[in-house]
Amino acid sequence: MTARPDDTDPLAPPALPLAGIRVAEWSRSLAGGYAGRMLCDAGARVVRVGDREASPALGSALGAYLHGGKVAEPGGLADVVALGADIVLLELPDAPDAAFLAGFGAAAVVVITPWGLSGPWAGAGRPSSELTIQAESGSLSLRGLPNRPPLMTGSSEGLWVTGAMAAAGAVAALQGGRAHRLVDAPLLDVTAYATNLFLDVGASVTGEAPEPPRARNRLNPSVEPAADGYVGFNLASAQNHEDFLVLVERPDWLADPQMTSHQGRYERYDEFTAAVRAWTRRHTVAEIVERASAFRIPCAPVHDGRTILDDPHTVARGFYQPNPSRPGFLEPAPPFLFDGARPRRGVESPPAVAPPPDAGQSRPREPEPSDDTLPFAGLRVLDLGTWWVGGYVGTALGALGADVVKVESTRRVDGSRFLGGLPATHDHWWECGAFYLGANSDKRSVTLDFSTPDGRALLERLIAGADALIENYAPRVLESAGLDWDAVHRINPRLVLHRMPAFGLSGPRRDMVGYAQTVEQFSGLCWRTGYPDADPHNPSGPADPMAAANSLFALSSALLTARRTGRGTLVESPLAEAALVMAGEQVITWTATGVLLDRRGNRDTVAAPQGVFPTAEPERWVALTVADDAQWRALADLAGRADWAADARLATADGRRDRADELEAGLAGWTAGQDRAELVDRLLAAGIPAGEVRDGRFVHDHPHLAARGLYRPVELPWAGTVPLPNLPVRAVSGGWDHRRRPPTLGEHNTEILGEELGLDEDRLAELTRATVIGTVPVGVA
């Protein structure tokens, strides 16, 4: 990569995009702590107000990671107001008084709560826990095994994603008008969005009915035992399915339609799994990954907090670094790079870069936006992103005011169009994919095959007029087209190029194929999700929205610099590193204490008992958490268990944890004959966090989420009226809600290539005949 003109000392820390920004943080969990961590890593001065007692994690190694580099100030909420910060992060147990929030003036204020700032549950004092929020979000309904209770994710993924989205929302809000600077970041909304795999969208498209309940199954294949550990697979395409059968030495199944589809393999689960494991157990993890990579099958070692430290890729990229303020343990590095440099903790960032003397193609510093201006109004973004990560970044930028132009090729459409929708026999089935519809609002669409000279020339013209270009291809794709950073920077020196490859732009795994499930396996997220007596289990999804939120944060920060200076930036935020951050507690704990964190099912290291229990109707589960001794006494009373209340050995969480099997069996017997909704109401009235395990296919009908408007009904050309999600973290004003339905393939070819670039009808027709542009995927009849 060519050095920037202001790079005079290669050993000096680079100027970070948020240098000079003042942040006040009031956090009580890793959600708020990680939001502040990101802002600090990008150069902001973060003052964390509070005391050690208010945040038990503060004295731990995890707390040292979350809060290192921040300025600690004792005090209460009133002291946060007095700081006069540019950005205010508030993590609160419930919605605060509106008058209190108004006291922050022109600051961008982001409020993290369990239920949000509006809706029937907001401000009602409803008790909650991470488990009960996962239950109410719908995500538990799709995770686990058919004959066992639904399963929570094991690494607090919902909290991490909320923190990342809150940080991104803060930087975006700072760039918009005052009317849109109060941002709502509810744990329930984020968890519903981040862990449901757009099941709700897919169910609406296909017309699924609530009965029967959807069966829980692990991916098949997924995490499989090898000769020396576990290895993970993710078959993302029809070619992957066929190649996998060859890989495991069962080419005879190629002619068997059941064995080349997900559904068919579930129908013959035992037979298929036995054959796969007979093969994987004969080979080492390294051998399997190497052989699978030769087929370009997404495959990775399943790491834990010890083995990930020796992975050649994390070593080569220097991802785990000593904590600068508390030596003795390693922590994840910032999961983003600016101009090829990763922010360095413990080193003061120089002042923000001033505009260059010779403006050239640079823009002048923009004035303070008017009150109703959206953060990215007036910016043009080229969206070459695919799947969930690329889709979310582009759709968020569109909701925030940018003109987002989605660029696909009829030869290589966004793969999300083919997932979770209608069969290929349906008219325009590629316009009905659940992942595509869920993550591509507020965009226009063009098709360009930029592997051809004509397509590349048109893309270069679009690049010349854009403010940002986002993409998450394998690194070789742009480079083979001659559109690496140096080339793009020559075309448009003020453009921000944001690259989001699976494993990054460097390192030995640079060219590996990877999706969310792949990096969940690689990072350790799988290692911590699962029943204690069973194999690791994919969390199924959260790596994508976490990477998307990290990416939106990094891009928003880079755009802040570009708008001030007129100078573009190369931003890199790998999918795998987002997952590594969420799994980071494993490495922190291992290197600080020598304890290897493992799977614990639905149990908790502090609260006891905690679990998911049956009710009167099949597959109608209830989740509950006993967070303290008072709640335990209330639960014993409610269950009519005087023996529990009188047992001194159960008076403490440690004692209850030692007898978890016994207590869970007793609770299951008590809950089994009860109406689910009535039971939850009784538990909540007793002050015990509880929730219904909602069906993820119909979470858009959730009484609280529906009242908050998380989903909006959208009339689509080929899929009918479908509830599509708004951004889960968004301005209270409503200004960040989506305004435009997802575009159909190439819907705006004439508008953009014809009216804006000046191509006449004959030229557009010629490009269509050559399949440089089009509106139907090549190969579709």
Least confident span in 54-68, 111-125, 459-473, 558-572: 54-68
For the CA atoms of the chain, what is the radius of gyration? 26
Of residues 382 and 368, more confidently modeled = 382
Mean pLDDT of 616-636: 96
Q: Kindly tell me if the per-residue pLDDT of 166 is higher than 90.
A: yes
Strand order in the sheet with 45-49: 71-73, 45-49, 22-26, 87-91, 108-113, 182-186, 730-731
Give the model's pLDDT for residue 257: 87
Q: Give residue-wise pLDDT tens across range 113-125.
A: 999 999 999 999 9
- Beta strands 229-233; 299-301: pairing state: antiparallel
Biggest CA–CA distance in the chain, Å, is 87
Q: Kindly tell me if the per-residue pLDDT of 7 is higher than 50.
A: no
Give the model's pLDDT for residue 190: 98
b/e burial code for range 297-318 (CB count within 10 A of at least 16 → b)? bbbbbbbbbebbbebebbeebe
Read out DSSP for 347-409? SPPPPPPPPPSS-TTPPPPPPPPPTT--TTTT-EEEEE--HHHHHHHHHHHHHTT-EEEEEEB
Dihedral, CA atoms, 371, 374, 379, 384, nearest 10 degrees? Answer: 170
Q: Give residue-wise pLDDT tens across range 684-725.
A: 999 999 999 999 999 999 999 999 999 999 999 999 999 999
207, 217, 305, 695 from 210: Cα distances, Å: 10, 18, 39, 8
The three-state secondary structure class of 496 is: strand
**Which positions ≥6 away from 777 have C-beta within 8 Å?**
410, 411, 413, 417, 430, 745
Q: Give residue-wise pLDDT tens across range 730-771.
A: 999 999 999 999 999 999 999 999 999 999 999 999 999 999
Q: H-helix or E-strand containing 111?
A: strand 108-113
Give the model's pLDDT for residue 333: 97
Phi, psi of 41 (to 5 degrees): -65, -30
Give the model's pLDDT for residue 353: 43
Residue 296, token pair as written in the block = 């370009």
Q: Kindly tell me if the per-residue pLDDT of 2 is higher than 50.
A: no
Q: What is the mean pLDDT of the chain?
A: 92
Indicate the pTM of the whole model.
Answer: 0.94
Phi, psi of 381 (to 5 degrees): -120, 130
Give the model's pLDDT for residue 59: 59
Q: Kindly tell me if the per-residue pLDDT of 431 is higher than 60.
A: yes
State the pLDDT confidence band at 399, using cuts at 50, 70 and 90.
very high
Check residue 318 and report its DSSP letter: T
Q: Kindly tell me if the per-residue pLDDT of 632 is higher than 60.
A: yes
Are the C-beta atoms of 374 and 180 separated by less than 8 Å? yes
Give the model's pLDDT for residue 661: 96
Q: Kindly tell me if the per-residue pLDDT of 14 is higher than 80.
A: no
Taking Cα atoms as reference points, which of 517, 521, 527 lies closest to residue 231?
Answer: 521
State the pLDDT confidence band at 237, using cuts at 50, 70 and 90.
confident
Give the model's pLDDT for residue 350: 55
Residue 394, token pair as written in the block = 């582009």
State the pLDDT confidence band at 205, using cuts at 50, 70 and 90.
very high
Least confident span in 9-23, 101-115, 170-184: 9-23
Are the C-beta atoms of 543 and 525 separated by less than 8 Å? yes
Give the model's pLDDT for residue 781: 60
3-state SS string for 244-281: HHHHCCCHHHHHCHHHHCHHHHHHCHHHHHHHHHHHHC
Residue 284, token pair as written in the block = 């080492």
Q: Give residue-wise pLDDT tens across range 310-350.
A: 999 999 999 999 999 887 899 999 999 999 999 998 766 55
- Beta strands 711-716; 71-73: pairing state: unpaired
Kindly tell me the burial class for residue 699, based on how many C-beta atoms sit within 10 Å of its own C-beta (0-12, 13-18, 19 or more).
buried
Q: Give residue-wise pLDDT tens across range 257-293.
A: 888 887 888 889 999 999 999 999 999 999 999 999 9
Q: Give residue-wise pLDDT tens across range 458-475.
A: 999 999 999 999 999 999
State the pLDDT confidence band at 654, using cuts at 50, 70 and 90.
very high
Residue 481, token pair as written in the block = 């087209």
Check residue 213 and report its DSSP letter: P
Other beta carbons within 10 Å of 736: 26
State the pLDDT confidence band at 13, using cuts at 50, 70 and 90.
low
How far is residue 154's CA from residue 601's CA, in Å, rounded to a whole number?
7
Q: Kindly tell me if the per-residue pLDDT of 21 is higher than 80.
A: yes
Taking Cα atoms as reference points, which of 93, 138, 88 lies closest to residue 115?
Answer: 93
Residue 213 preceded by cis peptide, ω within 30: no
Q: Kindly tell me if the per-residue pLDDT of 352 is higher than 80.
A: no
